[in-house]
Amino acid sequence: MNTWELIKKLSNAHGISGFEDDIKDIIKAELEKYVDEIKIDNMGNVVCIKNGNNLKLMVAAHMDEIGFMVKFIDDKGFLRIAPIGGWFSQIVVGQRVIVHGKKKIYGVVGCKPPHLMKEDERKKAIEIKDMFIDVGASSKDEVLEMGIEVGNPITIDREVQVLYKSRVTGKAFDNRAGLAMMIEAVKNTKSDATIYAVGTVQEEVGLKGARTSAFAIEPHAAIATDVCVAADFPGAESSYMDVKLGKGPAITIADAAGRGLIASRNILDWLKNTAEDHKIPYQLEVAEGGTTDATAINLTKAGIPAGVISVPARYIHSPVEVIDLEDLENGSKLIAKALETAKKYFK
């Protein structure tokens, strides 16, 4: 399977935090022929183990996407929702969604129309608490008959499309792009270390799966895969970052202004030297907002050396994220080679 087919399969699948089952199935199907064991741990993480020597290396990619959950069904059949993960509320209204009840039910996100708003209301951003989902029902009883109930997860109804050349757009590239990198790296690495490729749960709501899986594995070193903010489109210039689409995967030096991960010198030498030795293009990221599974891994037990390799992405946490497949492919190569060279840096 080529990169395009893999990212399309992963992105088009659905799974908010805590409901990652469909993504787990894809990972197991993709890696079962390339690893010696696949297990699901108590937290729900998918742990794929490729046996090797005593050097234990972990590659973590979170499976969950941001979404919503049904929190209330009113008498007229409209669903009130709670956000799961970080949303910019202005993106949400007007989206078509899928409610994952007893079966998939399509709906649309609505709000009070501007025609009925007062002048001061039109000047304010609409908050998610003032939105609702219309599934076409006329009453609460009809909604219940459709198999919808409180607690059902909700995802955006959007599929991947090609833009131009290797640029593609879709939902949940955060972090299905990272998953694709991990999967392809495990398939292609010639590392003789013992590799733990972990599809982690609930990253978007607290880095939960990475923390528990790293505690159990206790690797000598770890790489988290994710996406990072590309700053090459209008309005992003003020970030003073030089991360761009098509210029290679990003290696994180620090994120969340240091409140998240500050990568160790050994981690940075490992990843940068590997990229340079194998002529893989890369970029460096110092970010003020957001963090990744690497932070939770780094703080596990007595501390686990951890780094991040990311795919630059535009419009993160929206249904129309944009990435360059060449960055994804180069990121996969970098991870595969880093797994091979790790023995020079970790014991």
- Which residue is it, tokens 């990198």? 181
| Dist. CA 175–CA 163, nearest whole Å | 19
* Nearby residues of 91 by Cβ (< 8 Å), 6 or more positions away: 317, 318, 319
Measured CA to CA, the distance from residue 207 to residue 20 in angstroms comes to 14
Q: Beta partners for 227?
A: 311
Q: How far apart are CA 178 and CA 200, in angstroms?
A: 11
List phi, psi (to 5°) of 170: 180, 180
> Taking Cα atoms as reference points, which of 199, 259, 229, 210 lies closest to residue 88?
229
Q: In angstroms, what is the C-alpha Rg of the chain?
A: 21
Tokens for 92, please give them: 């949400």
Specify the residue for token string 């908050």.
127
Catalytic option among 20, 65, 203, 329: 203
**Catalytic-residue membership of 204:** no
Among left, alpha and beta (phi > 0; psi -120 to 50; other), residue 76 is alpha
Count CA within 13 A, CB hemisphere, residue 12: 10
Q: Mind telling me the catalytic residues?
A: 203
